[in-house]
Structures are given as structure tokens and as C-alpha cells.
Amino acid sequence: MRFTGTAILSALAIPLIAHAAAPTPAPSPASAPAPATAGPSTNTGPVTWADFLTSCQTAGQIALTYSEGPSEATMEMLETLKEGHAKVTFFTNATWLQYMQYAGVTRHAYLDGHLIGMTYRLPSDTSAGRTDAELKEDIARASRTIQDLIGVYPKYMKIHESNLKDARLLNLVKSMGYTLVGFNLDEYDYKYNTAATSSQIAEVYNAMFSKQNEAYGRKASYIVTGYDVPSTGAAAGLPKVINTIVAHGYDMVRLDGCTNDKTPYKKDPILNNGFVGDAKSFGALEYKHGQTQVKAVTYNPANGGGGSGSGSGSGSGSGRAGKSADGKGSLKTSAGSRIGVAVITLVVPALLAFLL
Ligand SMILES: *[C@@H]1O[C@H](CO)[C@@H](O)[C@H](O)[C@H]1NC(C)=O
């Protein structure tokens, strides 16, 4: 099956196709279109993949992004990232922040110098039956929850897969000044999600870098999509991913480094009235990029690594079970904890069937 020309951009089919594509996604040409810029938008027409940020401005950069956390997997990833001196972007699902242990993990991620964006999923998965004002308020509520914790309102936004075809939502989010984030590399952590297969995640990167190099003889830039939830192999696969990035000479950046954006947070959760930076934003004193080789970190939550203290109230019916008993839990699927990933694996094939 082949897609060509503008047909590719005319539908939101691309992110969905990317999920179901062969394990080695096609390389993205270094001359990929410039990323969509943030800011006021008067566009109320159909939203296409071109409205999403899908690559960086500088060849050789790679921005790892993780959605749907914080979770039991996030703390292990923070340990690995710290060892590799690497910064990434977390799209926080504000719903989980009402649980103290997850709020702690997100704050930890922010203080470690990672960029905090937000994921958003419509209540009941549809914008129908709600006014613009109600939708804006729901988005803003999620944003305020994050701001309460880290002091700034997120600007970079990942829309949940099941809402990607809701043009009204996407236009609204754009008009509010949020930057819609897509990707051009899917690390397939939801597919390589067992102890035996998580090392395959690094092979996805390896294959992409190698193909790009063979085809064009120069580096491209990447925005990677991953999921910091325990039912994926993201945490277990991360050490090898970082080492693969080192081996190919790419430079790990947060999304603000990827877009040369000195103001990666919003001034207001609803109004499109400007942006702010903080001490760790691109161009500021404490901004960091790059990475160093890591050993496979042995994550031991019992020794203070955990963001989820035992007995700290995660049994409150949230459906997110507490940390697994063996304390290694990143590959353990806690019961019912990762509905989002179930949606990806169940809904995406259904959408694909529809689109193709
Ligand atoms: C967080 O994820 C859950 C499960 O997918 C979803 O029901 C909830 O709406 C999400 N929260 C936000 C703010 O998107």
C-alpha cells in the first residue's frame, strides 16, 4: 500500500498508520516540512498532521516524548535519564496528579530538568454536546492541576489517540495557544513490552538512524512518541535506547530545544496571551541537552527510588494498582492501570480499518 503527495497530509491517517506500520518505520527525509509554529490561529478548517509538531529545527536532534504518565514506570525512567544526563519531555495526564505519589513523580521530573507538557483526552471521548467554553474550561482545569505542582502552565500538548479526529477539539486547542505535538518516530514500546522484547525498542531507533544515513548520508531530526506506563517496555528499554542514540551521534533535546523555543510554557491556561520560560528552558542558564552512555540501571524503589510509597492510598479505586511486589515492576502490568494503552492497541486497528 502506498500513500503519496498531499493525500498523506490531508488526513490524520498518518499517526494512526504509524502505529500499525511495519516495525521499521520509513525514514523521514532531512528536508521534512518546517514544524507548525505555536501562536494565534485563525484557522477553523480541517486540522491535518501538518498542524502538528513532528520534527526538530536542527538536523541531528532527537526529542524523546512520553505520554499518559506519570505512573509506576516514570520513576525508573527518571533514574536512567539522570545517569545518562539526558532530558526528555513528559506529557502529563493531569488526572493522575490527584494521587500523591504520582504528583511527586511529576514534580521530580520537572526539578530534574525535563520539560512538562500535557496529554488531553475528552471526557466521553467527544466534543459533541459541550460548548467551546466548557471544553476550554476542562482543558484549563487539567492545565491548572499541573501548574499547581510545578508553577507553570504547559504549552506542548499531546491529544489522546482516540480524540485525534476531533477537528473541533484540535482547532480549539490551537486557538488557545497550545502547540499540538505529533511524532515522526514511534518507538513501539507498547508492542515490545515484555522483559524478552523490550530491548527491541532500541533496534527501532537503530534501524531508523541507519536507513536515514544510507538514504541521505546525513542526519534527520526526530520527535519520538513513547508511553511512560508500566504496560509498555519504555522504562526497561531506555538504557539501550540512550546508548543507541550515543552510538549514532544524535543529540537528545527537550521539545523547546527541538523548536528553539525560549518560552515553552503558557502565561494562562485558557487565554492565548503569551508564553513564559523558566530557568531550565531553551536559552536559559540551566538548559541542558545531550546525553552520555548508561549502564542498565538497576531500579530499586526500596532504596528511595520510588515515587510511590507503599500503602499511600493508591487503592482508592483509581484502577491504578500500586507498585508491584517485586519492586521491579516496570514490565508488570498493574491491573487495569493502563487503559490508555489498551485504547491504542484496540482502537487504532479499528480506526485503521475505517481509514484504509
Ligand atoms: C487520563 O487518562 C485517563 C485514561 O485514559 C482518561 O480517562 C483521562 O481523561 C485522562 N485525563 C486527561 C486530563 O486527559
209-237 confidence digits (pLDDT tens)? 999 999 999 999 999 999 999 999 999 99
**Is 238 a domain residue?**
yes
Give the three cell numbers for residue 3. 500513500
**Is 9 a domain residue?**
no
CA–centroid distance, residue 93 to ligand 1 (Å): 6
CB of 110 shorter than 6 A to ligand 1: no
**Is 138 a domain residue?**
yes
* pLDDT category of residue 302 using cuts at 50, 70 and 90: low
Helix (H, G, I), strand (E, B) or coil at 245: helix
CA–centroid distance, residue 318 to ligand 1 (Å): 11
What range does the domain containing 185 cover? 58-355
pTM: 0.77
Residue among 96, 97, 226 nearest 149 (CA): 97
Q: Looking at the predicted structure, is the pLDDT value of residue 31 above 90?
A: no
Domain CATH for 311: 3.20.20.370
**Is 285 a domain residue?**
yes
- pLDDT, residue 297, reads 61
Helix (H, G, I), strand (E, B) or coil at 84: coil
**Is 72 a domain residue?**
yes
Pocket test for ligand 1, best of 96, 121, 158, 190 (most atoms within 8 A of CB): 121
* pLDDT category of residue 296 using cuts at 50, 70 and 90: confident
Across 308-320, average pLDDT:
35
**Is 228 a domain residue?**
yes
**Is 169 a domain residue?**
yes
- Roughly how many angstroms between the first and final C-alpha of the chain, as a whole number? 10
- pLDDT, residue 44, reads 61
Task: Produce one character per residue of 106-140: b if its CB has 16 or more CB atoms within 10 Å, e if not.
Answer: bbbbbeebbbbbbbbbbeeeebeebeeeebbeebb
**Is 271 a domain residue?**
yes
CB of 142 shorter than 6 A to ligand 1: yes
Q: Report, in angstroms and rounded to the nearest whole number, the Rg of the chain calculated over CA atoms.
A: 19
- Looking at residue 65, the DSSP 8-state letter turns out to be E
Residue 252, H or E segment: strand 251-252
Domain count along the chain? 1
